[in-house]
Chain A
């Protein structure tokens, strides 16, 4: 289980970083969302892996439980990254529509659109 999860985080991060190195906006955005998946899974794992356990302490018995805090953190992170992805898709679209070019780097001389 640990190995599976760690591999998933690693693969997602690696492919995310690879895609971010691309020059066009679409792969970059895909890469960013893969990175956010990776970080979400990673955040889950920071509370240690416990499967099929309630996120509640039991004061009558020593029962295993899963840490609820990372789940709350992941929820926040998912909401934020989802919103951010929407923002950057809109920005990239409007940049593409106004320049007819979806390269992410700015190569032309400055000052042509002051």
Chain B
């Protein structure tokens, strides 16, 4: 067995308690360990990625229990990609949190951060549905702590809502898993797939209920309309660097949909034929529309980016919901892009918020306004999907993949109009925040009783925050330049996903060895 597969789960799982128990009072040590672990994680993820490139599906049996009985971790192209994406995202965010001083505004930031990484990576690697639930809970518990990091009345109250919503989601997840277990007698994903494929279609009402319940759970995580209400409020009220990390959390939902509904309830499975795509596609289109309208209507920059995250999830889920290899290729490319773009915009939003407060209206210019404005500009281009950045390529791939589908007129209309509305909304916000502020500065302040009450002191080391933001930007640019190899990899991944037999054989045969 290849022990490297479990390393990205074990590393944060060991580091986080170490941070809490040993170096709880030493912020400097915490920072060193946290960054070092993130770098190490990045190295491990690259190694795993290298191993998965060949297309071989590797399994890791925990405790050496054979496959359908014990828990397995599975490394295929998709999980390797997602793990890599997580660790690439984690490093700039931890640097940003250190540079902006967010990590000392409350306790246990670094420990929670690594618990969160553990949950996310575990969810990407696991091959067992109940284990997926457990990793969901790990990432959620950590996210509750991170979401309310540094406290504040409004954040705490938003946090209560967030926790309630996700507890409901977890309960639903358990109901779904219970239903599936009652019907099939297994929760190992590969075994589930093998048994579901053999089921006679006539007495599987319960199985279909389970499949739809599971879709609902993942839709909550992926912020699919009408289950997206938790997202704008929680993300806008969370510390924004944390919201940047949460950009990967919605992708966990999208990943789970992709995994479960290609492997277990795949397009060829007679029992759930057409069940998922029929619901997912219109909901995804509505999500995109709701996100775009939300961008137009936002009055503070946190909400603006949160709604942009919702609308990019809409685009992503449209591509996922088509369930063809071409659309999955587009979805994977767009997933990487939208994670980086959303995270970048959250970091920029945090820079703006730290310097001049969250409202989208003109104020006196802030320090480093030019640099932040250009970051906002580039991030907005990426997020809205304008050329030349990867958002454009991603949307193009989505549109291209949707061409053979019967719903293509609706999809094209929604994606294109949605992009246009997003551009308008972002342009409005950008010009109000960055340009109108200069207009105000030129003339004397008409309302001296309304000085910017937020303390405009720049963060302890702005250099680090800017390099973190530029690192994310570099990721976007690299994704654009290497779009060819990236889509080739994505299409190889999609091919692997749509041949679930390899996966099933790799997992179940691993048990016979």
Chain A residues near B (Cβ < 8 Å):
20, 25, 28, 32, 35-36, 39, 42-43, 45-47, 69-70, 73, 76-77, 80-81, 83-84, 87-88, 91-92, 94-95, 98-99, 104-106, 110-114
User: Which one of A69, A81, A114 has the highest number of Cβ atoms from chain B below 10 Å of its Cβ?
Assistant: A114
Q: How far is the CA of A113 from the CA of B299 in the complex (A)?
A: 15
- CB neighbours (8 Å) of A114 from chain B are 353, 357-358, 454
Name 27 interchain pairs, CB-CB below 8 A, sorted by A.
A35-B171, A36-B171, A42-B175, A46-B179, A70-B178, A73-B178, A73-B187, A77-B174, A81-B171, A84-B137, A87-B144, A88-B163, A88-B164, A88-B167, A91-B144, A91-B148, A91-B159, A91-B160, A91-B163, A92-B160, A98-B151, A98-B152, A99-B153, A105-B161, A106-B154, A106-B157, A114-B358
User: Who on chain B is nearest to A108 by CB?
Assistant: B154
Question: Majority SS of interface residues in chain A?
Answer: helix
A104-B160, A114-B357, A114-B358 known; A73-B300 Cβ under 8 A:
no
Q: How far is the CA of A81 from the CA of B366 in the complex (A)?
A: 46
Contact with A along B172-192 (1 / 0, CB 8 A): 001101110110000100000
Which residue in B134, B160, B181, B358 is a CB contact (below 8 Å) of A25? B160
User: Who on chain A is nearest to B144 by CB?
Assistant: A87
Given contacts A39-B175, A47-B182, 11 further A-B contacts (CB under 8 A): A35-B171, A39-B178, A46-B178, A73-B130, A81-B167, A87-B141, A91-B156, A99-B153, A104-B164, A106-B154, A110-B299
Q: How far is the CA of A80 from the CA of B178 in the complex (A)?
A: 16
A91-B159, A95-B160, A104-B160 known; A43-B141 Cβ under 8 A:
no
Q: How far is the CA of A25 from the CA of B162 in the complex (A)?
A: 12
- CB neighbours (8 Å) of A111 from chain B are 299-300, 357-359
Q: How far is the CA of A40 from the CA of B158 in the complex (A)?
A: 28
- CB neighbours (8 Å) of B233 from chain A are 106
A76-B134, A98-B156, A99-B156 known; A39-B164 Cβ under 8 A:
no
A23 to chain B, nearest CB (A): 12
Q: How far is the CA of A58 from the CA of B262 in the complex (A)?
A: 38
Q: How far is the CA of A57 from the CA of B265 in the complex (A)?
A: 31
User: Who on chain A is nearest to B155 by CB?
Assistant: A113
- CB neighbours (8 Å) of B134 from chain A are 76, 80
Contact with A along B125-166 (1 / 0, CB 8 A): 000001000100100010010001001111111111101100
A112 to chain B, nearest CB (A): 7
A43-B174, A110-B299 known; A95-B159 Cβ under 8 A:
yes
| Contact of B174 with A28 in the complex, beta carbons under 8 Å | no
Query: With an 8 A cutoff between CB atoms, is B51 at the interface?
Result: no
| Contact of A95 with B153 in the complex, beta carbons under 8 Å | yes
Q: How far is the CA of A91 from the CA of B153 in the complex (A)?
A: 11
Number of A-B contacts (CB under 8 A): 111
Query: With an 8 A cutoff between CB atoms, is B170 at the interface?
Result: yes
| Contact of A46 with B181 in the complex, beta carbons under 8 Å | yes
- CB neighbours (8 Å) of B236 from chain A are 110
Query: A-B pairs with the 9 shortest C-beta distances?
Result: A95-B156, A46-B182, A113-B154, A46-B178, A39-B174, A98-B153, A99-B153, A43-B178, A95-B157
A20-B168, A95-B153 known; A69-B160 Cβ under 8 A:
no
Query: With an 8 A cutoff between CB atoms, is B303 at the interface?
Result: yes
Q: How far is the CA of A43 from the CA of B130 in the complex (A)?
A: 12
A92 to chain B, nearest CB (A): 5
| Contact of B161 with A104 in the complex, beta carbons under 8 Å | yes
| Contact of A28 with B137 in the complex, beta carbons under 8 Å | no
Q: How far is the CA of A42 from the CA of B303 in the complex (A)?
A: 38
| Contact of B163 with A73 in the complex, beta carbons under 8 Å | no
User: Who on chain A is nearest to B154 by CB?
Assistant: A113
A5 to chain B, nearest CB (A): 13
User: Who on chain B is nearest to A33 by CB?
Assistant: B167
A108 to chain B, nearest CB (A): 8
- CB neighbours (8 Å) of A104 from chain B are 160-161, 164
Q: How far is the CA of A50 from the CA of B299 in the complex (A)?
A: 58
A65 to chain B, nearest CB (A): 14
A91-B144, A114-B357 known; A20-B154 Cβ under 8 A:
no
Q: How far is the CA of A42 from the CA of B177 in the complex (A)?
A: 10
Q: How far is the CA of A35 from the CA of B173 in the complex (A)?
A: 12
| Contact of A87 with B163 in the complex, beta carbons under 8 Å | yes
User: Who on chain A is nearest to B172 by CB?
Assistant: A39
- CB neighbours (8 Å) of A91 from chain B are 144, 148, 156, 159-160, 163
Contact with A along B86-117 (1 / 0, CB 8 A): 00000000000000000000000000000000
| Contact of B177 with A73 in the complex, beta carbons under 8 Å | yes
Q: How far is the CA of A42 from the CA of B357 in the complex (A)?
A: 48
- CB neighbours (8 Å) of B181 from chain A are 46-47, 69-70, 73
Within 8 A of A (CB), among B234-287: 236
Which residue in A77, A84, A98 is a CB contact (below 8 Å) of B167? A84
User: Which one of A20, A83, A95 has the highest number of Cβ atoms from chain B below 10 Å of its Cβ?
Assistant: A95
A80 to chain B, nearest CB (A): 5
Q: How far is the CA of A20 from the CA of B130 in the complex (A)?
A: 25
Q: How far is the CA of A109 from the CA of B46 in the complex (A)?
A: 45
Q: How far is the CA of A88 from the CA of B145 in the complex (A)?
A: 11
A89 to chain B, nearest CB (A): 10
- CB neighbours (8 Å) of A76 from chain B are 130, 134
B352 to chain A, nearest CB (A): 12
A46-B179, A46-B182, A104-B164 known; A84-B170 Cβ under 8 A:
yes
User: Who on chain A is nearest to B180 by CB?
Assistant: A46
User: Who on chain B is nearest to A105 by CB?
Assistant: B161
User: Which one of B151, B156, B181 has the highest number of Cβ atoms from chain A below 10 Å of its Cβ?
Assistant: B156
Q: How far is the CA of A57 from the CA of B337 in the complex (A)?
A: 51
A77-B174, A88-B167 known; A110-B300 Cβ under 8 A:
yes
